[in-house]
Structure 1
Amino acid sequence: MLHIAVITPKGQRTEEECTIDTCTIGKSDENRIILQGWTVGRKHATIHRRKDGVYVEDHGASSGTKVNNQKISGTYGPLKKGEEITICDYTLAVLDIEEALPEAAPAASVSAVASPMAASDNAETAEGMSSSDREEMIAVLKNIHGQLIKQMDLRRVDVNRQSEEELRENTRVMLEEIVAADRNIPAHMDRVVLVKRVLDEVVGLGPLEDLIADESVSEIMVNSFEEIFIERKGQLMKSDITFTSNQSVVSAIERIVTPIGRRIDESSPMVDARLKDGSRVNAVIPPLALKGANITIRKFSKKKLVGEDLVRFGSMTPVMLQFLKTVVEQKSNIIISGGTGSGKTTLLNVMSSYIPKDERIVTVEDAAELQLSQPNLVGLESRPANAEGKGLVSIRDLVKNCLRMRPDRIVVGECRGGEALDMLTAMNTGHDGSLTTAHANTPRDCLARIEVMVMMAGMDLPVRAIREQIASAVKFIVQQNRFACGSRKITHITEVTGMEGDIIQLQDIFLYKREGFGPDGKVKGQHIATGQIPEFYEELATRGLEIDFNMFASQDKRL
C-alpha cells in the first residue's frame, strides 16, 4: 500500500491511497494518479514499494522526473522521509515511508528475484523430490494460488490495465505477503521456490519457465499436468517438475497463443504458435487430448548457428559446407528433406544465410522460425480461421501472393500440402535459388512425397506431368537424419539430373556411411564423396567460374 500527497501547480493538496504497492502517474486515464498538462507523459512515472523501501521510476518523458530538484534517470531510491518528487509543476510526497526491513533469515526469505543460478538450483531440487513430497508441494501451491485470487478480488486488482512488468511485480509482492503470513506452510519448504512457482504459473508459463531457461533442454513435452518429458542432449527423460492442475496447462497455452492472434478452445482445440524467442509450440486440449491439455515446445537456440557449427557437431564436412554455400549462392533450387526433429529448419536457416544481401527474399511459414539477416527481407506467416470459421490464410495463399511481391528468392518453412505445386511453379518461372523443407526419410522418398503433395492441390494432373515439373524445378535434395543416439547428420546431398522414361533420375554427390556405434553410444561413420561431378557444377564451369573439381574425388572424413 502507498499513501501519496499531491500538490497541484495552484497549491491545492490531495492525498491518494494505492491499495497495491505500485502506483502509476501520468495524464492517461489508466494511471492511478492523473496529472494534467501537455508536458506530462501518458505514463510518466511509477512509484514502487519494495522490501528495502520505496522507489520512483521515470519512464522517459521529455520533461523528466525530479527528486529534490535533481533530475533522475531510470529508477531512484530508496526514498527517504521528506524527499519530494517533482513532475512538471506538480509535487508529490510518499507519506508512509518506513525504515528498510531487516534481512530475514535464509530459511524464511521470500524474495522472488532469484538469480539464474538459483533458478537452476530450484529446478534441480524439484527434480529430486519423492512422490509424497511432490504431492505435498502441489497442495501448498494450490493453497497459495487460491489465497492470491482472494487477495486480488479484495483489492479489486484490474489485471487488464496493467503492463506485464507491473502485473508480475504486483503479483510477486502479494505472494511474498501471503507466504510470509501463512503459518501452515511446512518449515522445510523454501519460500523462494514457493513464490517463484506460483508467480510463474499465474503470469508466466508455470514450471516450464525453468525448463525454457535451461539451455541443455532442447524439447519439452507436456503430456498432462503431472507428466512432463524433456529432451536433453538428444535423450528423452521424464521430469519431476509438474503443473498444479489441468487448468494451469490451459492457462499457459492461452498466454502463449493470445499475443500472436491465435486461439484455442473447444471449437478449435489444436494450435500452432511460437514463444517470444521463436521456439515452436504445438498445443492440444480436450476433448481431442484424452489425458488433458498437452504442449510440445521445440526450443529455439539462443545462439544462431552457422555452417561452421554444424561442421563442428559432425553434421557435415567443410567440403560439404563449401559445396552447399556455392549452390545457394549460384541460385540452385533446393529441398531439405528429413524426419521430425532431424534439424531441417536449422539447416534451412544456415543455408538461407548464404543468400546474397542484394537479393529480395520472401519467407513463408506456419509459425515464424527463420532468422535471416539480409536487409531486403519480407516475412509472411499463415493465419488460422476465427471463431466463425472465416479469415483463414493458408500457406498456399501466401505462396501465391508472394509471387506478386517481386521476390528474387522464396523460402518456404515447410511444404506439407497443395502449396508444393505453387512452389514448383515458382521455381520453374524465374525464382531460381528458392528453398523449402519436406518430411521424408530418403531423397527418393522426398520425390514421392512431393508428388502426393502436388496431387493435394486438387489439380487433375497426370503423374508424368508432375514428375517433369519436379525434375525441371528441383536441382538438389539435402537429406538430414536424426539417429537413435540423438545425433543429427546430413546423410545425402543428391542432384536431380532429369527424367529417363517415367522415372526421375538422381545422382548422389555426398553420402554418410554408418559404421555402427562408438563407445559413447553415439553413431559412428564417415562422410564420403561418391566421385560423381554434379551437372550443375559443369554448367558453372561453362559460365567461366573457377571450379575446384577435386572436392568430388572419393574421400573419407572420419568423424
Structure 2
Amino acid sequence: LKNEIHLAVIGDLGPQLFNVNMDPNALRDRVTTDIRARLAQEARLSRDDRERLTSEIADDILGHGPLERLLADDSITEIMVNGPFDVWVERQGRLFETTVRFTDESHLRRIINKMVAQIGRRIDESSPMVDARLPDGSRVNALIPPLSLGGPLVTIRKFSKRRLDLNDLVRLGTLNAETIEFLQRCILAKLNILISGGTGSGKTTLLNALSTSIPDADRIITIEDAAELRLNQRHVLRLEARPKNIEGEGEIPIRELVRNSLRMRPDRIIVGEVRGAEALDMLQAMNTGHDGSLCTVHANTPRDALSRIETMVLMAGFDLPVRAIRQQVASALDLIVHLERLEDGSRKVTAITEVQRMESDVITLQDIFEFAVSQVTSERVVIGTLNPTGLRPTFLYKFEKRGVSLPLSLFAKERPPREATA
C-alpha cells in the first residue's frame, strides 16, 4: 500500500515535485493532502496509522525517508546506516541503536540516490562511493557494492545549526577559562596553530570557536574539502575543493586552492583539514609571512601530528631530505592543540604543546598544558582538569612583538594572583 500510494502521488503531482520555484511548505501541504485523500479510502487503517503513513510517504517523496526525523533531531550529531534494518546514531559522543528501518535494500538505495542527486553526484557500480556535503552543510559518505560487501552503507555527520563559541566549550568541559584566555591571545599574537585529534574529537568545532578571536580587519581565506567552517568576520573568503565529475574530470584539490590563496593577499589562511600534499604548501605559507594561520590534522598525539605532517609533505612528490622537512615544520608551527574523545564520549583538549626547535634531527616539543584524569566514576564518566605544566613557552617574544599582553600566572602550577605579564 505504501509503495502504491508513493508511486500514485508522484504520478499525480509530476513536475511540481521538481519545481525549484515552488514554496517548500506549499509543496509539502500539497503532497500530504494528496496522500491523506488516498489513505482515507482505506477503512481498515486507524487514524494514527493514516497519520504515520502520511508522514512516512511524504518524507520518502520530499525528503530522506526514514532518516528525516533523525536529521531533524538536534541532539543527534552523526547518523550511521549499516543496512536497511540497522541504523545507529551518535548523541553526546555515544552510539545508540535506533528503531528506524527502511522497507528493504532497494528503499535504502533509492534514498541514497536521491541524496547524492541533490548535489549533482551519482552513485552506481562504476562510481560506488560518494563523499560530499548536503545543502544543509551535513557531510554524507555513501558506499554501495562492490565496495561494501553487505549492501549499501551511509554515514551522515550533521551540520550544527548553531556554531559553538568558546564559552560553550567551557560549559561542555572541552577546555577551561584559563586555556581559552591563553589561546585567544595566541590568536591575537598571530601564532601558527595546528589542531590535532582523532576522528570525531571536535577539531573543526574548536577551529570554528577559536576563529572568533581573529580580528575583524584581517583578510581570512578558508580552504576545505567540504565547507564546515563559519566565520563571522567581515573579510572572509571561503574556498571549497571540487571532486571529479561524473566523467572523472574537473577535480580541484585542496593543494591547488592553497597555492592559489597565496595570490589573494591573505592575512591568515585556515585549512579545515590537512590530509595530503597540501601540507607542504601550508608550511610554506606559514613560513612566508602568513602568520596566524590555522589548520587541523588527524593524529593520536601531538608528536604523531608532526609525523603525519612529515609524511604528507613527502606525498608532494619532491625529493626533500627528512631533516629539511622537519626544519620547515619547526619553523612554521608554534603550537599544537590536541583533542581526544574520551571513554565517556566527551571531547576534551588533552594537551597544548609548543613546537620549539630542531635538536639534532628531532623537533623538540614542550607541553604547556596537559589533561590529568582525577577520577573515572562507576558510570564511566571521566573527571579531570587541563592544568599548566609550569613551563613557559619560548615564543613569548612574539606576544611582545605584536603588543599582546599575556599573564605569566597562566603557566604557574599553583596560580597566584595575576601580576606579571609578558
TM-score interval for Structure 1 and Structure 2 normalised by the shorter chain: over 0.9
Q: Would you tell me which structure has more helix in proportion to its own residues?
A: 2
Is 1:160 the equivalent of 2:18? yes
AA aligned to 2:110 is S
Question: What displacement does 1:232 show?
Answer: 1.9
State the AA in 1 paired with 2:341: R
Provide the rounded CA distance (Å) in 2 between the counterparts of 1:151 and 1:338: 48
Q: Distance in 1 between matches of 2:399 and 2:185?
A: 10
Shift of 1:151: 4.8
* Counterpart-to-counterpart distance in 2, 1:205 and 1:489: 33
Residue 265 (structure 1) shift: 2.6
How far apart, CA to CA, are the structure 2 residues paired with 1:278 and 1:256? 13
Deviation at 1:545, TM superposition (A): 4.2
Counterpart for residue 144 of structure 1: 2
Cα displacement string for residues 505-525 of structure 1 (whole angstroms, at most 9, x for unaligned residues):
101100001234124421122
Matched residues in 1 for 2:318 and 2:330: separation?
A: 18
Number of equivalent positions: 413
Is 1:346 paired with 2:205?
Answer: yes
Equivalent position SS for 1:283: strand
Q: Which has the higher contact order (CA 8 A, sep 6+)?
A: 2
- Indicate the structure (1 or 2) with the bigger Cα radius of gyration: 1
Q: Is the 8 A contact 2:71 2:158 kept in 1?
A: yes
Q: Do the aligned partners of 1:528 and 1:555 also contact (CA within 8 Å) in 2?
A: no
- Aligned 8 A contact 1:148 1:178 in 2: no
Q: 1:540 Cα shift?
A: 2.1
Q: 2:311 aligns with which of 452, 462, 478?
A: 452
Residues 193 and 336, structure 2, Cα contact 8 Å, conserved in 1 = yes
The residue number in structure 2 matching 1:257 is 116
Q: Could you say which residue in structure 1 is the equivalent of 2:287?
A: 428
**Mapping of residues 95-114 of structure 1, within 5 Å:** none
Q: Select the residue among 292, 295, 303 that pairs with 2:154.
A: 295
Instruction: Select 1:183's aligned residue among 26, 38, 43.
Output: 43
Q: Which residue identity is paired with 1:250?
A: R
CA apart distance, 1:359: 0.7
Structure 1: which amino acid aligns with 2:147? L
CA apart distance, 1:152: 3.8
Q: Where has structure 1 moved over 4 Å in runs of 4 or more?
A: 154-158, 542-545
Q: So what's the TM-score if we normalise by structure 1?
A: 0.71
The residue number in structure 2 matching 1:129 is: none
- Once the two structures are TM-superposed, the CA of residue 192 in structure 1 deviates from its matched residue by 1.2
Judge conservation of contact 2:337–2:353 (CA < 8 Å) in 1. yes
Change (3 A) 1:321 1:151: closer
Is 1:218 the counterpart of 2:77? The answer is yes
Q: CA–CA distance in 2 between the matches of 1:439 and 1:461?
A: 23
Q: 2:172 aligns with which of 295, 304, 313?
A: 313
CA distance in 2, matches of 1:332, 1:306: 20
Give the alignment's TM-score, normalised by structure 2: 0.93
2:392·2:411 contact (CA, 8 Å) conserved in 1? yes
**Residue 415 of structure 1 aligns with which residue?**
274
| Counterpart pick for 1:406 among 265, 276, 281 | 265
Supply the RMSD in Å over aligned alpha carbons. 1.9
Q: Percent identity?
A: 50
Equivalent position SS for 1:425: helix
Secondary structure of the corresponding residue to residue 40 of structure 2: helix
Q: Deviations over 1:243-295 (max 9, x none)?
A: 22323333333333334333323222212222333222211122212222221
AA in 1 matched with 2:268: R
User: Per-residue deviation at 1:403?
Assistant: 1.2
CA apart distance, 1:388: 1.7
Q: Which runs of 5+ in 2 are unaligned?
A: 416-422
1:194 is aligned to 2:53: yes
1:198-235 per-residue CA deviation (whole Å, 9 max, x = no partner) reads 11112101111111222222211011111101112222
- Going from structure 1 to structure 2, the CA distance change for 1:513 and 1:360 (only over 3 Å counts) comes to same
In the alignment, structure 1 residue 242 sits paired with structure 2 residue 98: no
| 1:279 maps to 2:138 | yes
Q: Deviation string for 1:107-146 (max 9, x for gaps)?
A: xxxxxxxxxxxxxxxxxxxxxxxxxxxxxxxxxxxx2222
Determine the structure 1 residue equivalent to 2:29: 169
SS class of match (2:325): helix
Residues 496-535 of structure 1 mapped to structure 2, 5 A cutoff: 496-535=355-394
How many angstroms apart in 2 are the aligned matches of 1:352 and 1:506?
A: 24
Kept in 1, the 8 Å contact 2:118–2:134? The answer is: no
